[in-house]
Amino acid sequence: MSADGEDRAGLLDRVFLTRVVEPGDERAGRWVREYGAAEVARRLRTGGPPLPGASERRWAGLRARAGEAEPDRDLAVARAAGVRFVTPGEAEWPGQLDDLGDARPLGLWVRGRPSLRMWALRSVAVVGARACTEYGAHMAAALAAGLAERGWVVVSGGAYGVDGAAHRGALGARGATAAVLASGIDRPYPRGHTELIRRITEQGLVLGELPPGEHPTPSRFVLRNRVIAALTRGTVVVEAAHRSGSLVTARAAQRLGRHTMGVPGPATSALSAGVHELLRGGAVLVTDAAEVVELVGDMGELAPARRGPVLPTDLLEPRAREVLAALPGDGPASAAGIARRAQTTEDDAVARLYELRALGYVERHDDGWRLTHQTAISGRTGRHPR
């Protein structure tokens, strides 16, 4: 018996309800929580009185769907395609989906060998624009490959653009990836990604809420995104316009207390405007997989410190750098004048100047001390004089 109190016979009731109820229907989820899947299915099958909150019109619509549902057939079709149906309370059920409350899936159709629950424990969503730029595709693939190499599962929606690039990046790194579809998983969508979804099935997982044969609709794409957000430890958005569906995923992640991240783009790019808005609203800016893992990973999984290249002037002692900075760029200066600007004694300034001359940064002339020509034109950037 499952943790939700349903035995094996309850499996058919939940399969039946996935055919009758749309994903994310919180009212139907409340019915299941309060009455149990068996009672809800029974009333829909037998035409019992409407459940609380259902108008006559809505109840009639659900009853019409119920009359066409064939859960035995759905299970048979799924099994023939190598698809299993995972329900709340089963060993493979990812407990974090319960955070969705009454909007949690009635069950998930899953294809692929790995355990969904185990994979979800160490997963990150990478989502973004369908019509992404080359920059967006590159960043998604690089992030996904980096995450996969670090042992993280990359979750996305199997769509064109950023989703597809993320899946390919993980696959290319011989890593783990999972696609959450807004259609029956025996009907890969978009069709142009049929081969990609087949590869994901062989190397990872494909899953969704809808029973075999179901087609995607705009609302199903939106509702699918809550599953991606709840399933993973965090969501990274790579390129998204102001009304992008990937922002729905990110905001769902925020509501659920998951980490929300964004990859910045050009300030002038409309495809990055949604990401920038997300960053202004509290998401964390990330640029590579190490920064993502630092946020979602265990204590101590820190990204490497970022710094520019080491320059020759970085190797000078602080007092020598101060004396060098005190020399004017357009003419000579006396040791006394350099000492005043460097706020040191004249003897100390002279000692430092001789060190700098030996290194090729300054020259001594009858009229005082000057920067060498090479140091002057390099603007004291630290490029070593030649």
> Cβ atoms within 10 A of the Cβ of 63, count?
17
Question: Coil, strand or helix: which one is 124?
Answer: strand
Output the pLDDT for position 379. Answer: 61
Give the range among 213-222, 323-332, 369-378 with minimum mean pLDDT.
369-378
Q: Domain segments of the chain: what residues? A: 10-73, 107-296, 312-377
What is the pLDDT confidence band of residue 308, given thresholds at 50, 70 and 90?
low
| Nearest CA among 303, 305, 266 for reference residue 286 | 303
Output the pLDDT for position 229. Answer: 97
Output the pLDDT for position 8. Answer: 58
Predicted confidence (pLDDT) at residue 36 exceeds the cutoff of 60: yes
Query: Over the stretch 37-63, which tens digit does the pLDDT of each residue have?
Result: 999 999 999 887 889 998 889 999 999
Give the range among 2-11, 94-103, 135-144, 304-313 with minimum mean pLDDT.
2-11
Q: In CATH, what number does 107-296 get?
A: 3.40.50.450
Read off the tokens for 32. 């299941």
- Percent of residues in the chain assigned helix, strand, coil, to nearest 5: 50, 10, 40
233 or 377: which leads in pLDDT: 233
Torsion, Cα of 151, 91, 81, 217 (10° steps): -80
Predicted confidence (pLDDT) at residue 27 exceeds the cutoff of 70: yes
Query: What type of residue sits at position 359?
Result: L
Q: What is the DSSP letter of 366?
A: T
Task: Give yes or no for a contact between 243 and 222, defined as CB atoms under 8 angstroms apart.
Answer: no
How many Cα atoms are found within 13 Å in the side-chain-facing hemisphere of 51? Answer: 22
How many Cα atoms are found within 13 Å in the side-chain-facing hemisphere of 285? Answer: 7
Query: Over the stretch 155-182, which tens digit does the pLDDT of each residue have?
Result: 999 999 999 999 999 999 999 999 999 9
Average pLDDT over residues 146-163: 97
CA distance 266 to 218: 29
CA distance 176 to 171: 7
Pairing of strands 362-365, 259-263: unpaired
What is the pLDDT confidence band of residue 309, given thresholds at 50, 70 and 90?
low
Residue 375 CA to its chain's centroid (Å): 46
Task: Give yes or no for a contact between 261 and 235, defined as CB atoms under 8 angstroms apart.
Answer: yes
The b/e string for 268-287 (b: 16+ C-beta within 10 A; e otherwise) is ebebbbbbbebbeeebbebe
Query: Over the stretch 106-139, which tens digit does the pLDDT of each residue have?
Result: 999 999 999 999 999 999 999 999 999 999 999 9
CA angle 150, 226, 159 (to 5 degrees): 65
Predicted confidence (pLDDT) at residue 270 exceeds the cutoff of 80: yes
Output the pLDDT for position 203. Answer: 93
Task: Give yes or no for a contact between 214 and 77, defined as CB atoms under 8 angstroms apart.
Answer: no
Predicted confidence (pLDDT) at residue 374 exceeds the cutoff of 80: no
Q: What are φ and ψ of residue 366, in 5° steps?
A: -60, -30
Handedness of CA 52, 58, 62, 67 (dihedral sign): positive
Read off the tokens for 280. 């202004």
Predicted confidence (pLDDT) at residue 225 exceeds the cutoff of 60: yes
Q: What are φ and ψ of residue 108, in 5° steps?
A: -130, 135
Compute the chain's Rg from CA coordinates: 31
What is the pLDDT confidence band of residue 330, given thresholds at 50, 70 and 90?
confident
Average pLDDT over residues 135-153: 96
Assess if CATH 1.10.10.10 describes domain 312-377.
yes
Give the rounded percent of residues in the chain with a pLDDT score beyond 90: 78
CA distance 195 to 306: 39
Kindly give, in sequence order, each residue whose CB lies less than 8 Å from that of residue 163, ignoring residues fewer than 6 positions away.
Answer: 126, 127, 128, 130, 140, 156, 157, 179
